[in-house]
Amino acid sequence: MKNKLKPIFSILLLITLLFNMVACSDNSSTAAEQPDVIENADKTPVSVAVLKGPTGIGAVQLLDATDLSNDYTFEISSAPDEVMAELINGGVDIAALPTNIAAAVYNKSEHEISIAAINTLGVLHILERGDTIQSISDLEGKTIYATGQGSTPEYVLNYILQKNNIENVTVEYMTEHAELAAALLAGDVNIALLPEPNVTAVLLKDDTIRQALDLTQQWDNTQKLNSLQTSQLAMGCIVARKEFIENNKQAFENFLKEYENSVNYVNANIAEAATLVQQYGIMENAAAAEKAIPNCNIVFISGEEMKNALQGFYQVLFDANPKSIGGVLPDEDFYYTK
């Protein structure tokens, strides 16, 4: 009797295994967009600095998760200069930074860091009290109030205006985002260039003010119109110390995969992500964060696509003011493309 049961048992076992394999195959296809993380027997200590605001939003699931491949320590900062200094002196291994600051750190640190991914595209928007601005050409003859004189917002706006042959525009600069937002809400200003999350803060307070132009879209339109080198308005990125990468290659690769998973989570679960954004102090208010996240262009762009997107963008900044990226265009060694 035992000998007769063995073949039957084997057949049943084989059927069960085949069924499980099919089931596993189906599950893997539905989750294919989630990068695989290779388990480490011993978790590597990894220190990560994240900035408040749009540049830090993509990390919130990573901040909240418990079962991760590395032993992470997170620092949440409101001061890019402090994070820049910590990268240079080895106080942190990985950081989310504005792209112009990343290039400056690379040049100031004698090429001791690498850029591994773009995590935020443009967050700049032109707001209007009224509806006279429907396209970039409608800015002709207008006065725009803005912040960021002598930095990326000024250079981006000037570039877009110049490439679209719009010359008769007056730009008046204010020092603080909050100052400009208050002036727009008070009716003292009709057209303003502001970044997120200030854009959402204004729109939530006054429904007679509208988002007229997204400069990320205008950048893309300008590239196509002028048949220019492929680039993107890339304003935030992930960088790491080269020494850390060289000594912890698998840990760094795992971080990038887990960070990409976090970005995917944020874009697929905006309300839940907004709660985490408030919980971890990236933004003060979850309701405002929920409205702002779709305008923040949270992404994960790596490899050659990242490199191509950034090289043209850095050229624009360099042409406007070489000091904005540390005086020199980053060379090939800056880009981590595996």
Interatomic CA distance for residues 152 and 121, integer angstroms = 13
User: Percent of the chain having pLDDT more than 90?
Assistant: 83
Domains, the chain, ranges and CATH?
Answer: 45-121+232-334 (3.40.190.10), 124-226 (3.40.190.10)
> In this structure, are residues 102 and 214 in contact, taking their beta carbons and an 8 Å threshold?
no
Instruction: Quick: pLDDT tens for 209-232.
Output: 999 999 999 999 998 887 766 799
User: In the predicted model, what is the mean pLDDT of residues 77-104?
Assistant: 94
How crowded is residue 95: how many other Cβ atoms within 10 Å of its Cβ?
Answer: 28
> In this structure, are residues 199 and 211 in contact, taking their beta carbons and an 8 Å threshold?
yes
- The set of residues, in sequence order, having a beta carbon less than 8 Å from that of 236 and lying 6+ positions away, is 54, 55, 96, 97, 98, 99, 118, 119, 120
Q: Which residues of 22-38 are buried (b: 16+ CB within 10 A; e: fewer)?
A: eeeeeeeeeeeeeeebe
pLDDT at 6 over 90: no
Q: pLDDT band for position 76 (50/70/90)?
A: very high
Interatomic CA distance for residues 69 and 82, integer angstroms = 27
pTM: 0.86
How crowded is residue 278: how many other Cβ atoms within 10 Å of its Cβ?
Answer: 17
Residue whose structure tokens are 């112009």? 100
Q: What pLDDT, on a 0 to 100 scale, did the predictor assign at position 41? A: 57
Residue 282: strand, helix, or coil: coil
Interatomic CA distance for residues 114 and 246, integer angstroms = 11
The two beta strands, 191-195 and 45-51, are unpaired
Chain centroid to CA 16? 45
* Cα distances (angstroms) measured from residue 187 to each of 20, 206, 207: 65, 11, 13
Interatomic CA distance for residues 157 and 281, integer angstroms = 30
Q: What pLDDT, on a 0 to 100 scale, did the predictor assign at position 66? A: 87
- The set of residues, in sequence order, having a beta carbon less than 8 Å from that of 89 and lying 6+ positions away, is none
Interatomic CA distance for residues 335 and 99, integer angstroms = 12
Instruction: Quick: pLDDT tens for 289-329.
Output: 999 999 999 999 999 999 999 999 999 999 999 999 999 99
Residue 174: strand, helix, or coil: coil
Read off φ and ψ for residue 118, nearest 5 degrees: -85, 130
User: Percent of the chain having pLDDT more than 70?
Assistant: 87
Q: What pLDDT, on a 0 to 100 scale, did the predictor assign at position 224? A: 86
